[in-house]
Amino acid sequence: MAGVQVANVSKSFGTDSERTTVLDNVSMTINKGEFVSVIGPSGCGKSTLLKVIAGLIKADDGVVTVDGNTVTAATKDKLIGLVPQSPALLPWRTVLDNVSLPLTVNRRGNAGRKMRDPKELLSSFGLGQALEKYPAQLSGGMQQRAAIARAFVFDPSVLLMDEPFSALDEMNRDSQRLGLLEFWQSNRKTVLFVTHSVPEAIMLSDRIIVMAAHPGRIAEVIDVNLPRPRDADVYATDEFRDLEGAVRSTLRSVMEKKHV
């Protein structure tokens, strides 16, 4: 089965007396080539869910498969590309060497796949002039783009992005998000995108999963039927505004329920 399947995953942290359930029986599917965003209030476990799929956190219960493999097998085969919340580039490596890093580790996982040329990839990300620069010489937006290129370079089948643009200012954010949209539309990957920005989720996604907190669970799934390919004009359409209203009211009800 291609794509990502999450079945009845639960996860809690802490000791018996102060145990908090971060994920409560979460099930979801991301089809191959589908862009799914997860949105929700803080503490709803959206980052934890992403980390469980990335194999960084072990779930207490439930099963996750990536392209039909267990998560461990998927990481061994380098099927998962991770874009963390911060660029997390290595300051002593040039941009080119940072992006080439995934090609040089776990070489066994490289077998039988075609890697992208890091230079070409960086050029298509608008970083062609910055190959030999060091991360500290780049702006925050460029650093984040390099981090996304690092996740694309080994051609994984699933991309997990954890609020990749959250550290950027709104204008920068918008241009980075449009850049990602454009690149993804010509390189369809299965994507799980964690965000707390409603317009961002609508703009990029095929489906939006709204999560509720305490305990973290899926509250609602909203389909985004805006035609593709999309561009910045989508913001101005009525459909976009309707969707934005729907997502926001869902989020509001999710937040209110928390206080009951």
List residues binding another protein (CB under 8 A). 51, 54-56, 75-76, 78, 80-82, 84-92, 101-102, 104-106, 109, 134-137, 139-140, 143, 150-151, 154, 160, 167
CA 19 to chain centre: 27
- We find the least distance from the C-beta atom of residue 252 to another protein, in angstroms, to be 31
Minimum distance from residue 144 beta carbon to another protein (Å): 10
**Is 122 or 243 the residue whose CB approaches another protein more closely?**
122
Q: How far is the CB of 76 from another protein (least distance, A)?
A: 5
Q: What is the largest CA-CA distance in the chain?
A: 55
d(CA 72, CA 247): 34
54 or 201: whose CB is closer to another protein? Answer: 54
The DSSP bridge partners found for residue 21 are: 12
Strand 69-70, strand 61-66: pairing: antiparallel
Q: Closest distance between another protein and the C-beta of residue 231, in Å?
A: 26
CB closer to another protein out of 60 and 97: 97
SS3 23: strand
Q: How far is the CB of 120 from another protein (least distance, A)?
A: 21
DSSP string of 170-223, one letter each residue: HHHHHHHHHHHHHHHHHS--EEEEE-S-HHHHHHH-SEEEEEETTTTEEEEEEE
Pick the closer one to another protein by CB: 51 or 230: 51
Q: Are the C-beta atoms of residues 23 and 11 closer than 8 Å to each other?
A: yes
CB nearer to another protein: pick between 85 and 123: 85
